[in-house]
């Protein structure tokens, strides 16, 4: 159901139910959340989420009988997972190897960086089955794309190709399908060997700034810089800069 692979100081988590396009059943979400916890506990300094087979994640499942409360799984499973990912002290990469639909596309959007196979696409197709957007899409898409593009995507459910996702600022890179794993693992290695506490500060201050005014964002940056300046990685980074040599970060 969930693959867990250590790659140096990083971890690859793989949604692994290819026969169901890695759809988000309750057990799948529980296993994914447990794997994320296990990655942090193991000391991982970066995390990658990807899918097995031809899909990244087809989103939630629909079957008869339909639930009386379609939002219950959000409260019990999806929302806690999204908050867990948002609060991580390490960078998160989504390697989107195939279709990412609905809540699956929301999980990709929750990552810090998205790499996509050129054959992959994103689709926030909640309204097409009579539902509202979830997985944080209603919050993240307007902030990423602006109001009108976000509304267009959420109302039409139109597919966003890898190239369009990069052009619109939803994805970091689009690569050929056969190159995706190598590119994503190279980025994972780069982040996992970087200044981990600085990356945590980047995540924390950038997310906070989405809801702060300019004065508040400046104050948050000042506090973050105070903490960052006390880390071993800052002293190593400064020493390496002065000596004109590559830095060797310890993540402390």
**Rg of the chain on CA atoms, in Å:** 19
- Compute the distance between CA of residue 71 and CA of residue 73 in angstroms, rounded to an integer: 6
pLDDT the model gives residue 165: 98
pLDDT the model gives residue 64: 62
- Compute the distance between CA of residue 247 and CA of residue 6 in angstroms, rounded to an integer: 23
Where are the domains positioned within the chain?
A: 2-192, 196-243
The phi-psi region of residue 234 (left if phi > 0; otherwise alpha if psi is between -120 and 50; otherwise beta) is alpha
CATH of domain 196-243: 1.10.12
Do the beta carbons of residue 193 and residue 8 sit within 8 Å? yes
Rounded to two decimals, the pTM is 0.95
What is the chain's pLDDT, residue by residue, as a tens digit (252 residues)? 999 999 999 999 999 999 999 999 999 999 999 999 999 999 999 999 999 999 999 998 877 677 888 899 999 999 999 999 999 999 999 999 999 999 999 999 999 999 999 999 999 999 999 999 999 999 999 999 999 999 999 999 999 999 999 999 999 999 999 999 999 999 999 999 999 999 999 999 999 999 999 999 999 999 999 999 999 999 999 999 999 999 999 999
Going by C-alpha positions, the residue among 224, 194, 148 that lies closest to residue 45 is 194
pLDDT the model gives residue 60: 87
Going by C-alpha positions, the residue among 140, 44, 29, 109 that lies closest to residue 77 is 29
In SS3 terms, 84-134 reads as HHHCCCCCEEEEECCCEECHHHHHHHCCCEEEEECCCEEECCCHHHCCCCC
pLDDT the model gives residue 233: 97
pLDDT the model gives residue 68: 85
CATH of domain 2-192: 3.90.226.10
- Compute the distance between CA of residue 203 and CA of residue 86 in angstroms, rounded to an integer: 8
């Amino acid at each position: 159901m969930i693959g867990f692979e250590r790659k140096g100081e990083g971890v690859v988590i793989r949604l692994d139910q290819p026969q169901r396009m890695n759809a988000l059943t309750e057990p799948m979400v529980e296993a994914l959340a447990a794997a994320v916890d296990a990655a942090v506990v193991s000391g991982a300094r970066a995390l990658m989420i990807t899918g097995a087979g031809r899909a990244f994640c087809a989103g939630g499942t629909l079957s008869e009988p339909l639930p009386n409360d379609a939002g219950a799984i959000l409260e019990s499973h999806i929302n806690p997972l999204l908050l867990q990912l948002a609060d991580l002290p390490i960078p998160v990469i989504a390697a989107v190897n195939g279709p990412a639909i609905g809540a699956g596309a929301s999980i990709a959007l929750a990552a810090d960086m998205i790499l996509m196979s050129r054959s992959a696409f994103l689709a926030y197709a909640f309204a097409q089955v009579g539902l509202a957007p979830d997985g944080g899409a209603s919050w993240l898409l307007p902030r990423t794309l602006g109001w009108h593009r976000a509304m267009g995507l959420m109302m039409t459910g139109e597919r966003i190709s890898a190239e369009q996702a990069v052009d619109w600022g939803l994805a970091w890179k689009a690569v050929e399908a056969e190159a995706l794993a190598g590119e994503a693992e190279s980025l994972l290695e780069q982040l996992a060997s970087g200044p981990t506490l600085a990356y945590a500060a980047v995540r924390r201050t950038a997310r906070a700034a989405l809801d702060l005014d300019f004065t508040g964002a400046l104050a948050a940056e000042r506090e973050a810089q105070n903490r960052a300046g006390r880390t071993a990685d800052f002293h190593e980074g400064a020493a390496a800069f002065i000596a004109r040599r590559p830095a060797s970060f310890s993540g402390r």
